[in-house]
Amino acid sequence: MLPSFYQACLQASLTQAQYLTLQILILLLQSHRTVQLERLAALFPQPITFESRRRNLQRFLKLPQLSVRLLWFPLIKHIIKQEFRQKNKNRHQRRKLKKLKHLGHLLLVIERTDWKERNLFVASVICGKRALPVYWTLLDKQGGSNLGEQKKFLKPVLKLLTSYPVVVIGDREFQSVQLGKWLDEKGTAFILRQKKGTSLL
C-alpha cells in the first residue's frame, strides 16, 4: 500500500497501533475520497460507538509525531536524495532528474495564499510542471506576512535542503530587500519579484 521508505519512516515514528490506525485512515481516504472527520469516523472499522471513534481519530490526528517536521521532512529528504542520485538511472529517471535540477539547483518556491478563511504559507520544490510541497504552516492572522514570519518559515526548509544548491523564488509579497540580504548571508541564491521603483543599493 505504501512505498517501503514511507513504511520505514512511519514505523520509526509511530507505535504499532498508531501505524495501523494510519494505514486504515489512508485506505479510507483513498477509497472514499473524503477528509471529513465525521465521515471517516463512521467508516472506521472499530467496534466502539461513533462518538468514541471520532474522539479517537481526533486524538490520533493531534499526535506530535504527525507534525510536518517530524513526519514529512524525512520523507521529502529521502525523495529528493533518491531523485538527485546520478548513478544507475535509466532514461526516464534521468529526464525526471533534469526536471528537478534546474542548472544544478533546486527551485524552492515560497507562497502565501488565502484558502477558505485560512492564511496558508507554503514552500514547494519545482519538479517539471509540478510542485512538491515541502513545508506549510498556517498564519494566525489575515493578510501578508512580515520579514520575521518569512525568516521563521524559511529556516527549517533551508536546513532540510542544506545538502543541495537552492534558489528561493518568491512573488511580490517577498520583495523585502532585507529578506534578500538575509538569504544572501545564508549563502542561498534567490529570485524575488520587485516593484518597478525598488532600489537594491
Residue spans of the domains in the chain: they are 4-66, 90-192
Cβ–Cβ under 8 Å, residues 97 and 89: yes
Angular region, 106: left φ>0, alpha ψ -120 to 50, beta rest = beta
**In 10 A of CB 28, how many CB atoms?**
19
d(CA 17, CA 68): 20
d(CA 109, CA 131): 8
3-state helix, strand, coil in the chain (%, to 5): 50, 20, 30
What's the pLDDT score for residue 200? Answer: 60
Q: What is the pTM of this model?
A: 0.75
List the pLDDT tens digit at each of the 201 positions of the chain: 677 888 888 888 899 999 999 999 999 999 998 889 999 999 999 999 999 999 999 999 999 988 888 888 888 888 888 776 655 566 666 665 565 556 678 899 999 888 888 889 999 998 777 888 999 998 888 888 889 999 999 999 999 999 888 999 998 888 888 998 999 999 998 988 877 776 666
Class of domain 90-192: alpha beta
